[in-house]
């Protein structure tokens, strides 16, 4: 089994002031200590997470710490950052045309495309827009 971690969980994990912080910590501990297998995220999630963290908190040090955590800089790497290549981008565009009315952003669609293409079993997300598309832990 394997799990893909979405932006909201990563941001909440690193922001103690986030209302979802405790749940994010719980989910992340579960991901690292259970049979969920490898933990993934993507370059698009990296972009979204560090940008959102900076904008939401106004704290550059939090955004930099979060980015370093995702990249495994100064800490033991805990996740693999997958790249959105041309094929994933094309798949995501098709998914976006299909699911944008459901509320999925293009970045969400890149995550769905990666999960499906890589055979990842779950997405760890607080975003209910993924429900009915891919199995969600959140």
pLDDT in tens, 113-127: 999 999 999 999 999
Residue 136 lies inside a defined structural domain of this protein: no
- pTM greater than the 0.85 cutoff: yes
Query: Could you say which DSSP state residue 46 is in?
Result: H
Domain extent, residue 64, equals 3-124
Q: Which residues contact 52 (CB under 8 A, 6 or more apart)?
A: 7, 11
Residue 23: in which H helix or E strand, if any?
Answer: helix 21-33
- Going from the C-alpha of 59 to that of each of 7, 51, 54, 64, 77, the distances in angstroms are 17, 11, 6, 9, 23
Please indicate, yes or no, if residue 133 is contained in any of the structural domains: no
Tokens 């690292």 identify what position? 32
- Domain total in the chain: 1
Query: In this structure, what CATH number is given to the domain that contains residue 66?
Result: 3.40.50.1010
Q: Is residue 115 part of a domain?
A: yes
Has residue 135 been placed in a domain?
no
Asked if the structure places residue 134 within a domain, the reply is: no
Taking only the tens place, the pLDDT of each residue in 32-91 is 876 778 899 999 999 999 999 899 889 899 899 999 999 999 888 889 999 999 999 999
């Amino acid at each position: 089994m394997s799990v893909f971690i979405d932006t909201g969980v990563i941001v909440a994990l690193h922001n103690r002031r986030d209302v979802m912080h405790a749940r994010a910590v719980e989910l992340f501990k579960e991901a690292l200590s259970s049979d969920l297998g490898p933990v993934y995220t993507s370059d698009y999630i990296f972009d979204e997470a560090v940008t959102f963290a900076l904008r939401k908190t106004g704290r550059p040090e939090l955004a930099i710490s979060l980015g370093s955590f995702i990249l495994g800089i100064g800490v033991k790497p805990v996740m693999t950052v997958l790249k959105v290549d041309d094929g994933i981008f094309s798949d995501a565009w098709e998914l976006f045309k299909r699911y944008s009315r459901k509320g999925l952003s293009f970045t969400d669609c890149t995550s769905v495309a990666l999960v499906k293409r890589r055979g990842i079993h779950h997405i760890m997300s607080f975003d209910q827009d993924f429900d009915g598309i891919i199995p969600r832990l959140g």
